[in-house]
Structure 1
Amino acid sequence: MESPLKPISHKKASFGRHETFALRYSWLTKGFQAFEKNKSIFSSDEGTIELGVGKNMVNAIKYWLRASAMLLDADDGLEVSDLGKAIFNDDGLDPYLEDEATLWLIHWRLATNAELATAWYWFFNCYHKAEFTSEDAMESLAEFVRNNLNGKHSERTVKQEVAMILRMYCPSKSNAKSIEESLDSPLASLKLVSAVDDQHVYRSYGNLQSSLPIELIGYAANEIFNQRQTEYLPIADLMYGPKNGIALGSVFRLTESALLAKLENLVKAYPNIFQINETAGVNQLYRQDSKTESLTFLRHYYKPNR
């Protein structure tokens, strides 16, 4: 099975596909459930009526469903993913995003999809400045694109992606935006980015992330094992990733000690699947059962007694 993780590729990148509309709370639910009923919902005039938004917003909903891997590209169009069905079906694990763990999950999917959410991938895996201005980040992303991606990408569009990331992840001042605009940013509640100095300077650094459940760490780590097809991963590699590669600790903005603590708790909860051992002075996470499905960890979290 093809890995849902999409590391940086020189040939595949996307910028500005969201039509300048940030992800909103209801969009994934409404869009997924509408697609389940009508597979042509995003390509027909019915989309604007069924979803109650304009054509550009219909395109944006489609984009966010694809970028978060709730819908997957198929030979004949789009198809629902196993993750999408598990979360958003009528009897799904959390169809209305009531649990913050689901927001962490959506964040993980965006930040590991370099093909469709290239700027998100870069910001959370490759950009390691704890404090920066929006201009700093824009220039760094533009340089990254010039140095690592083939093809022509509008520098203006590329830089605008940073503004979209800050808009989605940085909690806004309550009196600065309308109620409708405040609905743009379910991911802001994760507090992965904060504004200082009247929003001219931003911070995004490691923390304990107490609201991030170990089951989601297990889900993410299992995906990395599958993608790299290995039996063990150095914990430092999980923290920072290979060059331009997926970095679990960085994506979730964990400190080194916080990541290690979560991995230790993961091992305690799933001793038959994971172990931490030291090899040649290097702490490594070992996976003993390669047949475990990633969704198993999510089901254990959302429905622990089933």
Structure 2
Amino acid sequence: MDIDFLSIFNSLNALLILASNYMMYFLDIFSRGRVIKMNPKFSGHETFPLRYGWLYKSAKYLIENNKLSASSPEDAQRAIVELGVGKNMVSAIRYWAESCSVIETSTNSDQSVSDIGQYLLVEEGNLLTPSCSAQDPYLERIGSIWLVHFLLNFNENELTSYRYFFNFSAMQNFEKEKLLLDIINDVNGLCGKEVKPVTLKKDVDCFLYAYSKKSSTSVKAKSINEDHFTSPLSELGLVKDLGKGYYSSLLDERTSLPTEIFVYALLRFLTQSKMSDTSGFDSILSDQSSPGKIFRLSEKGLGIHLGDAVDMFPEIFAITDTQGMRQIRLLQQFDEHENFHHILDEYYGTKK
């Protein structure tokens, strides 16, 4: 009786691959239950939503003055005069700049414009490095706003109302009071400490003002609200104000999300959050800090964006589908500190 050793070897190899895929699948499920304790950060914005021009102003001011603060009378007065805003708004500008990872503040309170802040906002006349030039300091391109949204919510260290919503909430149609109640109920488990409900309410209000636009069917749709016009985040259409305290944030394909910005987010998720070169479809869709969660993508939408990512960067990604389990695999090795500016260069048309 002849034994076909090659067939046996191939069968065993296929079984090993299948077992490996199942192991990765269950590791993905396990990791979704892992929640890192976060520090609560439900104040600091002084109830002012992010506005156009603030991130650029913060970077420019910090470069010229080495410090953006309103903690001392001297610092506050200088910032008030040069930024042309009140003291509370100076604090709000700093809050949003730090929350969007444009400004980095060390434990000894030293401040600097971050790598991504330099890339996006710093003009030629204010260069900090020889290769630095502003790509979109005034957020005129929709991809830049998507990028800011990702930077704002890709943070597992500090919890805010918007980070709670874009990382932990599954609600698509909701009442503001229900969102507030969910955060009140979950904040102790996520942060290990309680936060005053009045503080949480102000933060929820600020989040919804920053992100939402009035629905055309809303009773107050024709009323003018300055914050709705001045917050770039509302341009993304992620949250819709239905009126009378009701909102919607449906999972969608996000056709205005550029592939390059999605790929940037995916690479940061895989290398910095997952710290793995392989991830299951469900993990990319539903995990904390994942592109699927932060961009509020539907299953169909994620499938489309992953397909576009592979088509645009076939040297970086591959999609496998074994026994109905879809996975994305990195074909290149990246350091966890990689900035992935070369991916953003593709969107901004910059070759360095």
1:10 & 1:264 partners in 2: Cα distance?
A: 34
Larger relative helix fraction: 2
- Taking a change above 3 Å as real, the CA distance of residues 8 and 124 of structure 1, as seen in their structure-2 partners, is same
Matched, 1:20 2:47: yes
**Structure 1 counterpart SS, 2:174:** strand
Per the TM alignment, residue 301 of structure 1 is displaced from its structure 2 partner at its CA by 0.5
Matched, 1:121 2:163: yes
- Taking a change above 3 Å as real, the CA distance of residues 229 and 115 of structure 1, as seen in their structure-2 partners, is closer
User: Unpaired segments of 5 or more residues in structure 2?
Assistant: 1-33, 124-132, 215-219
2:346 & 2:95 partners in 1: Cα distance?
A: 29
2:95 & 2:269 partners in 1: Cα distance?
A: 24
Return the letter of the residue paired with 1:17: G
- Which residue matches 1:3? none
Matched, 1:46 2:89: no
Return the letter of the residue paired with 2:115: D
Per the TM alignment, residue 174 of structure 1 is displaced from its structure 2 partner at its CA by 6.2
2:107 & 2:199 partners in 1: Cα distance?
A: 29
Provide Cα deviations, 1:112-161, integer angstroms capped at 9, x if missing partner: 22434522111011111111111111101111113322223112211322
Per the TM alignment, residue 279 of structure 1 is displaced from its structure 2 partner at its CA by 4.0
Per the TM alignment, residue 13 of structure 1 is displaced from its structure 2 partner at its CA by 2.1
- Which residue matches 2:279? 233
**Structure 1 counterpart SS, 2:40:** coil
Q: Which runs of 4+ in 1 moved over 4 A?
A: none
User: Unpaired segments of 5 or more residues in structure 1?
Assistant: 1-6
Q: 1:147 aligns with which of 179, 186, 189?
A: 189
TM-score (norm 2): 0.79
CA radius of gyration, larger in? 2
- Which residue matches 2:62? 35
Q: 2:122 aligns with which of 78, 83, 89?
A: 89
CA RMSD of aligned residues (A): 2.0
Provide Cα deviations, 1:62-88, integer angstroms capped at 9, x if missing partner: 010000001112244111111000000
Whether the 8 Å contact between 1:29 and 1:95 is mirrored in structure 2 is yes
**Structure 1 counterpart SS, 2:135:** coil
Matched, 1:79 2:112: yes
Per the TM alignment, residue 236 of structure 1 is displaced from its structure 2 partner at its CA by 1.0
* Residue identity (%): 29
**Structure 2 counterpart SS, 1:171:** strand
2:48 & 2:252 partners in 1: Cα distance?
A: 29
Aligned pairs (5 A) from 1:240-251? 240-241=286-287, 245-251=288-294
Deviates further, 40-49 or 206-215: 40-49
TM-score (norm 1): 0.90
**Structure 2 counterpart SS, 1:113:** coil
Q: Which has the higher contact order (CA 8 A, sep 6+)?
A: 1
Matched, 1:264 2:297: no
Deviates further, 265-274 or 169-178: 169-178
- Which residue matches 2:234? 188
Whether the 8 Å contact between 1:100 and 1:211 is mirrored in structure 2 is yes
- Taking a change above 3 Å as real, the CA distance of residues 257 and 215 of structure 1, as seen in their structure-2 partners, is same
Provide Cα deviations, 1:17-73, integer angstroms capped at 9, x if missing partner: 211111111111111111111112425121111110111110110010000001112
Deviates further, 41-50 or 287-296: 287-296
Whether the 8 Å contact between 1:13 and 1:114 is mirrored in structure 2 is no
**Structure 2 counterpart SS, 1:277:** strand
Q: 2:176 aligns with which of 121, 128, 134?
A: 134
- Which residue matches 1:99? 141
Return the letter of the residue paired with 2:143: A
Whether the 8 Å contact between 2:211 and 2:231 is mirrored in structure 1 is yes
1:160 & 1:146 partners in 2: Cα distance?
A: 18
Aligned pairs (5 A) from 1:199-238? 199-227=244-272, 228-238=274-284
- Taking a change above 3 Å as real, the CA distance of residues 202 and 268 of structure 1, as seen in their structure-2 partners, is same
Return the letter of the residue paired with 1:89: V
Per the TM alignment, residue 296 of structure 1 is displaced from its structure 2 partner at its CA by 1.5
Per the TM alignment, residue 8 of structure 1 is displaced from its structure 2 partner at its CA by 5.8
Matched, 1:60 2:92: yes
Whether the 8 Å contact between 1:11 and 1:151 is mirrored in structure 2 is no
Number of residue pairs aligned between Structure 1 and Structure 2: 295
Matched, 1:177 2:206: no
